[in-house]
Amino acid sequence: DAKTTQPPSMDCAEGRAANLPCNHSTISGNEYVYWYRQIHSQGPQYIIHGLKNNETNEMASLIITEDRKSSTLILPHATLRDTAVYYCIVRVHISGTGTASKLTFGTGTRLQVTL
Amino acid sequence: NAGVTQTPKFRVLKTGQSMTLLCAQDMNHEYMYWYRQDPGMGLRLIHYSVGEGTTAKGEVPDGYNVSRLKKQNFLLGLESAAPSQTSVYFCASKSGTDTQYFGPGTRLTVL
């Protein structure tokens, strides 16, 4: 399974953009990059995903390099409520199961947003 | 919609006791998953199900059994609990190529 590497922690001032990097150099051509976050031991919350194009939604933007070996999650205006552990995940299809897939979580990046 | 719910929220067991964790989803999702999360670590997949009546092993299946008798429910059983199974358990579900939606978790302590 493709592995991801993230910095263990980052700080960001409230109101500034938070840029969270992720390395996934062994990703295969049809594997998606997903980002989830986990706030204080709650269930993980979906943020965004992409294959090769940059993506944006109401929560964040996802920038994927052309070679797909790394990506960056951007929270454009971080708030205190964005303090969480952010997981970058490569979604792997489970062969022989139709559309079933699995998410392999690493240890993530702990983002601390400060005043 | 309630989404994904888990019962119970907390439980304390003694070594050797058994229990069943219930996951329920009201989104008519085909796929359901059970994960565990230990302190400072990401989630690890225990078992999953691609449809009613089917189950399969994930990364860390030993010591657990599962059943998916109804599409909306996915049960995780511990036949003889061990301290190493102290963890937070998360259930998730999804449909097709959609994203996985997670429940709030069950915090289990085995003494």
For A67-97, how does the pLDDT look when each residue is reduced to its tens digit (9 = 90+)? 999 999 999 999 999 999 999 999 887 777 6
φ and ψ at residue A82, rounded to 5 degrees: -85, -5
Contact A43 B104 (CB under 8 A): yes
- The pLDDT confidence band at residue A107, using thresholds 50, 70 and 90, is confident
Q: What is the mean pLDDT of chain B?
A: 94
Residue of B nearest to A44 (CA): B102
- Is the N-terminal amide bond of B8 cis, ω within 30° of 0? yes
End-to-end CA distance of chain B: 36
- A54 part of contact set with chain B, CB < 8 Å: no
For residue B44, the model assigns a pLDDT of 93
More confident residue, A22 or B2: A22
Contact B42 A98 (CB under 8 A): no
Average pLDDT over residues B61-82: 96
C-alpha B45/C-alpha A104 separation (Å) is 8
For residue A28, the model assigns a pLDDT of 85
Of A41, A98, A108, the CB nearest to B50: A98
